[in-house]
Structure 1
Amino acid sequence: MNAFIDQDGCIACGQCYDVCPEVFSAGDNGIAFVAQEQVPKDQEESARTAEQGCPTSVISLSDTE
């Protein structure tokens, strides 16, 4: 699974990197970015929780084979 963030819509709430810091992180301005594009298997549930909890819906996850 791959993770993506539309940084233009990020409001720097911190929810994603609080829920899944292994995949998401923040720049100096608080705007989230994907720290690890390929989501580790053991972090998939946390990444989905971050995606679903994003108040601006800028996180997307795509399944890859």
Structure 2
Amino acid sequence: MKVFVDSTRCSGYGTCAEHCPSVFSLDEWGYAAAISEDVPAGAEEQVRIAAQDCPEQAIRYED
């Protein structure tokens, strides 16, 4: 699985990092980025939940 964060849509809610801190990090202003495009084994479900819960729909993933 690969994950992508559209930084132009992110508003810094931080829910993605709460759901999956092994995949998402927040910068000093609270905006999200994927630590790596490749999702570690076992984190796939958390990434799906993070994408669904993103208020700005800034996260997409590819299985």
Give the TM-score normalised by the residue count of structure 2.
0.95
Give matches, 1:4-15, under 5 Å: 4-15=4-15
SS at match of 1:7: coil
Could you tell me whether the CA contact under 8 Å between 1:22 and 1:36 is conserved in 2?
A: no
Structure 1: tracts of 5 or more residues without a match:
none
Could you tell me whether the CA contact under 8 Å between 1:16 and 1:54 is conserved in 2?
A: yes
Residue type at the aligned position of 2:24: F
Structure 2: tracts of 5 or more residues without a match:
none
Give matches, 1:1-65, under 5 Å: 1-63=1-63
For residues 35-63 of structure 1, give each alpha carbon's deviation from its aligned partner in whole angstroms, at most 9, with x where no partner exists. 12100120000010000100010100012
Q: Compare the two structures and name the one with the higher helix fraction.
A: 1
For residues 1-58 of structure 1, give each alpha carbon's deviation from its aligned partner in whole angstroms, at most 9, with x where no partner exists. 0000000110100100000000001111111000121001200000100001000101
Identity over aligned residues, as a percent? 40
Residues matched between the structures, number: 63
Residue type at the aligned position of 2:48: R
Give the TM-score normalised by the residue count of structure 1.
0.92
